[in-house]
Amino acid sequence: MGNLKEELKAQFKEICAEAEDAGISGNELACFQIVQRINRVKKPAKKSKLRPALSTILISSFAVLIALATFEVAVVFTTPTGYPVVEEYHKKMTEWIFDNIVDVEMEEELCIVNFPEIVQDMFRPAVDCNMCQNVTQIDRVSNLTIEEFTKIYAYTSRPVVISDGMAGWTAGDHFCFDFFKSVYSEDSPALENYETDCQFFPYKTEFACLGEALNMTKERAKEPWYIGWSNCDSYATNILRKHYKRPYFLPQDSESSKTDWIFMGTPNYGAHLHIDSVENPSWQAQVKGHKLWTLEPAPECYFQCPSQLQITVHPGEIIVLDTNYWFHKTLIVQDELSITIGSEYD
């Protein structure tokens, strides 16, 4: 087995060398799915519980999910108080799906079929509509004490913009397209680790991976684009965190995620309306540019919450938001490149 492994490694290196001789850069090579899958293999996979008829099962399951989604919409919009009934429905529905359809070790299996985001949204946990009680706008505040933030905003799902949130940071002086291009250069460990372990969101662009996006041509850079990625590499983290620090208003006993999220793009572009599935509330600092945020409540809260909230976040400001509770979309406004960085906190 050892000899076979070494032989395969040698053949893979030879193929990579031939690709480079043919003019394919390391960044371009890293974008190929097969290369990413090879790089991700760190241990032998457990024997799959999936059967040969998996495709048939998945198609049937998808049909069942659509039928259940239709029923869910009916439940939501025919229940005035909404939340208790929908929560119980979600619980029973989820238990049924996992008991009768899903029989795989979720942590060990690669995704074979990615369900459309609209279907994922339909089967998210129901929201407690008390989150928007007395919320009529997104507050913009400054000189906020830790006690005030903790009591009013930190864990209430009440969105807020802290206008002096980036006080003392140097990110505004350093973060730019070329800065990130240098951090994730073709020969940097950050890009190598990124391609195997981190997430990339191309939104409505043709970019297959971060390396490709950061090496776009000058002509392509003049066209609209918007990308996002998670940084889970210690090399890049050490560079980024020289220019920003923990927001001053966060509770003293809270911890930020080790993962940074960076979003960057051109005016008149942004993220579509969506809801996240992350563990904790998050903050996002507007380092450069101006971004219009639009928030909408989950469908089950339409009778108790404002139908829509909007606010434009300017350079130097931080928006704090529980993206698990609010549907949200963004639009880069004015005429500057937008760069944001953020993280979750517990």
Give pLDDT tens digits for 183-231: 988 877 777 655 556 788 999 899 988 889 999 998 999 899 999 998 8
In a domain, 331, yes or no: yes
**Confidence band for 44, pLDDT divided at 50, 70 and 90:** very low
Q: Is the pLDDT of residue 332 over 90?
A: yes
Q: Please state the rounded mean pLDDT for residues 294-301.
A: 90
190 and 251 co-located in one domain:
yes
Question: How many Cα atoms occupy the beta-carbon half-sphere of 85 within 13 Å?
Answer: 14
Say how many domains are in the chain: 3
Final residue belonging to a domain, choices 126, 142, 164: 126
176 and 232 co-located in one domain:
yes
173 and 276 co-located in one domain:
yes
In a domain, 332, yes or no: yes
225 and 272 co-located in one domain:
yes
In a domain, 48, yes or no: no
Give pLDDT tens digits for 249-285: 999 888 777 788 999 999 999 999 988 877 789 999 9
List C-alpha distances in Å: 39 to 42, 142, 194, 210: 8, 46, 11, 16
In a domain, 49, yes or no: no
Which domain covers residue 67, as residue numbers?
Answer: 54-126
84 and 200 co-located in one domain:
no
Looking at mean pLDDT, say which of 187-196, 228-237, 282-291, 320-329 comes out highest: 282-291
**Confidence band for 236, pLDDT divided at 50, 70 and 90:** confident
Q: Is the pLDDT of residue 243 over 60?
A: yes
